[in-house]
Structure 1
């Protein structure tokens, strides 16, 4: 996906971002936190954005090469060529910060929601009504496992944060709370759906 230019909330003095993919700009934003290797980026993504934006190594390393070729990040070499092997780290450049700033002020693309499991659930009804229960229970159990993991991570992050954190440091907690709210809502919907289907009359099998 690339970002288009028509509508933007950018300040007039911010240079427009080129058509970098959203994955590349997300990698750029993570590197903008502090210098990171590809491995570090993957770990940070797992800790912070994996519930709503997955990044694989197959995306990260090609995007780092593109960003380096575009002058938005630069590789940080080990100080001594004779020392132990150290992962290559990347840091954001001044041009990278301008591009990141431009992207952060640009209106996001509308979210287009795709859910294969909901499509299956819709189509299962006429073909195999009993299987709908298995689909919903499986979805509920996965959401419950994800909720436990996100809540544990959020609690660990909260304990590691200062009691009166600045607004910028509160944002990761707020994003985590958004994910927690979504997962709780999904679990509640699954329970509601199971109850509704359990109380529904059996389909008429009269030819």
Structure 2
């Protein structure tokens, strides 16, 4: 945990050199959240199948509903449901593709990432079962230290969606930490992006990044924690 605390203090800053990633097609969207009279865009979102039902979910980070995206105060999950009633996501690999929802989901145990971990940093919107043809699925197991993972996102200033290769350096119930295999990285705006394993299953959701001695790291809400919150928030009694 001391390793995580040290790195979390150094946030990713804008670097005008792009990492060499692999261009991909995936159900990853740039979200715009709406109140009915105002809106904001920020971060990243992705569509995944709810393992506890037939519905699809638009998954993103709770901390986007706060100062990170220009709001004056950080909203709770309850406040997000009360204020931001709708979301539209534009495909980050295909601008003609979009999803929309007017069904935010209250995630009782959600909270923003802090020095103790990323596990509660989650916001969800319910989608129709046919919102996308090929939704992502969550991995039933977490990766191990040394395993390869991929952040699927769009670097700041780039127009293409990429798979950015990394290796896991730490994993527990609150955090998934990974080291990118690049010298330069501009990952601003990738909060909410999926982190995939070699099978293209979701093992985490990116929440922040750090740099130490020229090495770039990512921090994610682990899929094991996300699945617990999804079950808590969507499974019927």
TM bin, normalised by shorter chain, reads under 0.3
Greater C-alpha radius of gyration: 1
Name whichever structure is richer in helix by fraction: 1
- RCO higher in structure (CA 8 A, sep ≥6): 2
TM-score, length basis structure 1 = 0.22
Name whichever structure is richer in strand by fraction: 2
